């Protein structure tokens, strides 16, 4: 009896803890396993920040220099860690400054939860100081959003926010919390969300579709795989590798799918797309079965849809039903997480070696190497090229670094020439193409993978869009390596102006400041290189540094990135020069 009495005593349910809404926000984050957030304080979110101060031994806050920096840092963290990134800001301009990053996260399927402060609920709709209707504004660029006006809503809504952000096809969620809800009291009890009525993030796999896909693949004479970020998000790298090797199928990546399989894998044919590799682009229009895995047939991949892979049977593996038949008509659609669907497919696949088909890839790769790659990384011209800078970084990092590229020519050279040995090594803005992404994203990437080398590759234009985040690096002492490829142009726009606008360089010439002096002002070691004979030593010194390091490389002004598929052209019309 005494034992039973003790058991009853120990199992007695404790009363919920009565706390303020602001503390409930912090406790909810901790309950989700969050120990790192990025943000910028302000009046409407100040109660939550006051609680951060009390919990700073358990919840580390990174003070960025701009709210856009906070959301990009959260994205970088999420992309390399596989966890949900968290960004926080105040109302009005603080909230609107998150919008670019939220839109970026939406189109690139990045799981982030954004928390914004809001004016008191009694002031909503009154045009109060720093009031914006951020919920209405963010509706089209979030997976879900919600405005909390009562403290009692906080635990349940935040639990839903994290579940929605990371489940199924990941994406951004925004939670707006009025100031009175932060001050209000509630009986705190947190339960992780595991299911939401009518929300089915992972479609049920149809085994008949898997069987149909296997039949097409086994009968194919010229099969070809294009894989995207869906493979990485599903942790399906091994399943993809097994399929490629078992069926002997050439494969190529989208921009965001890079690093899912090692660059040096014998069946990895490179990257498809506007500035992708020659062989996979041309042979997309010659394969008889096109197997798309975790990718969405973006226009930068397909070129002219009227002529894209019309000769091929198309198999599409994806978690999102809305992507099926959206751009490219599918013969077989296999819905579900690709880790599960590929695992079901692989036992059904036969080895189907076609040496002639592989030779076609080899022949075209040889052409590209002779015409483009070799001259780019072993130039005879006086000025340094972007490609040789990336190649120098390859030699020092041995393909083991995380490359965080910005947008523009620097992005395309990095994606084309960087080598990757492990997954989650590429962080870049894909669908939205956000200049200024790289510097703050590299901060988040380093915190998400502290044991790995993180190298930010940035153009001189993109660098100046978020240059203030050098202050974040200075204050936090996060050891990221920053490489600015300076051609004193908005390089990608200039390339188009050269090719399609008779070299009318309208508003693309950049008059830049002394980057080295500015960076040194932030207490970061800095070096400028403008001669080939100094490049290797400078890159080696940068990578060897235990602290953050900035390297500015003066590259040729009118260098172009090739191959290139002009807008409106078909993938087989890719230009080598």
Count the alpha carbons within 13 Å of 41 in the hemisphere toward its beta carbon: 12
Q: What is the largest CA-CA distance in the chain?
A: 94
Active site residue: 20, 143, 179, 313, which one?
179
CA distance 401 to 318: 28
Residue from 23, 51, 67, 131 carrying the catalytic annotation: 67
Active site residue 435: no
Distance between CA atoms of residues 363 and 384, nearest Å: 29
52 is catalytic: no
- Residue 501 phi, psi (nearest 5): -130, 30
Q: What is the CA radius of gyration of the chain?
A: 25
Helices (H), 45-153: 46-54, 67-81, 93-96, 99-107, 134-138
Beta carbons of 255 and 271 less than 8 angstroms apart? yes
Cα(198)–Cα(200) distance, integer angstroms: 6
Question: Which residue out of 412, 435, 465, 492 is catalytically annotated?
Answer: 492
**Per annotation, catalytic residue among 130, 422, 468, 475:** 130
Would you call 129 a catalytic residue per the annotation?
yes
Q: What is the DSSP string of 146-210?
A: EEE-SGGGHHHHHHHHHHHHHSSS--EEEEEEEHHHHHSEEEE-------BTTB-SSPPP-HHHH
Instruction: Take residue 289 and report the two structure tokens written for it.
Output: 């079965």
Please state the three-class secondary structure of 420-435 as a single string: CCCCCCEECCCCCCCC
Task: Check if 492 is active-site.
Answer: yes
Residue 247 in tokens: 């069926």
Active site residue 179: yes
Report H helices in 337-485: 338-345, 355-368, 374-377, 386-397, 409-417, 438-448, 460-465, 470-476
Which residues are catalytic, by number? Answer: 67, 129-130, 179, 492
């Amino acid at each position: 009896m005494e034992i039973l009495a003790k058991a009853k005593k120990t199992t007695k349910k404790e009363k919920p803890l009565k706390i303020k809404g602001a503390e409930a926000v912090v406790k909810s984050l901790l309950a989700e396993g969050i120990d790192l957030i990025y943000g910028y304080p302000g009046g409407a979110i100040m109660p939550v920040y006051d609680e951060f101060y009390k919990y700073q031994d358990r919840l580390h806050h990174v003070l960025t220099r701009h709210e856009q920096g906070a959301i990009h840092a959260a994205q970088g963290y999420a992309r390399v860690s596989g966890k949900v990134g968290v960004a926080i800001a105040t109302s009005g301009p603080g909230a609107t400054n998150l919008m670019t990053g939220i839109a970026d996260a939406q189109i690139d399927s990045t799981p982030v939860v954004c928390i914004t402060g809001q004016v008191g609920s009694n002031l909503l709709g009154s045009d109060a100081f720093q009031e914006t209707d951020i919920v209405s504004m963010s509706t089209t660029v979030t997976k879900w959003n919600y405005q909390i006006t009562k403290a009692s809503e906080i635990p349940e809504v935040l639990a839903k926010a994290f579940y929605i952000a990371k489940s199924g096809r990941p994406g951004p969620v925004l939670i707006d919390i009025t100031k009175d809800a932060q001050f209000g009291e509630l009986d705190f009890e947190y339960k992780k969300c595991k299911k939401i009525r009518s929300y089915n993030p992972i479609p049920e796999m149809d085994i008949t579709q898997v069987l149909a896909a296997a039949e097409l693949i086994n009968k194919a004479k010229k099969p070809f795989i294009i894989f995207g970020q869906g493979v990485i998000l599903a942790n399906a790298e091994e399943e993809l590798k097994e399929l490629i090797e078992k069926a002997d199928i050439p494969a190529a990546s989208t921009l965001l799918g890079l690093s899912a399989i090692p660059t040096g894998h014998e069946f990895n044919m490179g990257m498809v797309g506007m500035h992708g590799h020659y062989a996979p682009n041309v042979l997309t229009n010659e394969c008889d079965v096109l197997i798309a895995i975790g990718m969405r047939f973006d226009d930068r991949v397909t070129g002219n849809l009227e002529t894209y892979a019309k000769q091929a049977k198309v198999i599409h593996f994806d978690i999102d039903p809305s992507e099926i038949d959206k751009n490219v008509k599918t013969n077989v659609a296999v819905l579900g997480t690709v880790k599960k669907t590929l695992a079901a497919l692989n036992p059904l696949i036969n080895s189907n070696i076609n040496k002639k088909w592989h030779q076609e890839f080899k022949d075209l790769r040889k052409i590209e190497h002779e015409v483009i790659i070799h001259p780019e990384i072993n130039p005879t011209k006086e000025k340094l090229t972007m490609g040789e800078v990336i190649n120098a970084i390859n030699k020092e990092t041995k393909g083991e670094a995380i490359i965080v590229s910005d947008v523009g020519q620097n992005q395309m050279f990095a994606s084309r020439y960087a080598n990757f040995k492990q997954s989650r090594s590429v962080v870049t803005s894909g669908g939205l193409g956000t200049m200024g992404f790289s510097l703050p994203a590299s901060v988040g990437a380093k915190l998400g993978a502290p044991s790995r080398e993180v190298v930010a590759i940035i153009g001189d234009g993109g660098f100046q869009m978020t240059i203030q985040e050098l202050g974040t690096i200075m204050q936090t002492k996060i050891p990221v390596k920053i490489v600015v490829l300076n051609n004193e142009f908005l390089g990608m726009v200039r390339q188009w102006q050269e090719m399609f606008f008779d070299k009318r360089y309208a508003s693309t010439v950049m008059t830049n400041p002394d980057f080295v002096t500015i960076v040194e002002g932030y207490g970061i070691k800095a070096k400028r290189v403008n001669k080939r004979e100094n490049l290797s030593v400078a890159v080696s010194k940068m990578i060897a540094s235990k602290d953050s390091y900035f390297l500015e490389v003066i590259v040729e002004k009118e260098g172009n990135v090739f191959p290139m598929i002009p807008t409106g052209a078909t993938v087989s019309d890719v230009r080598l020069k």
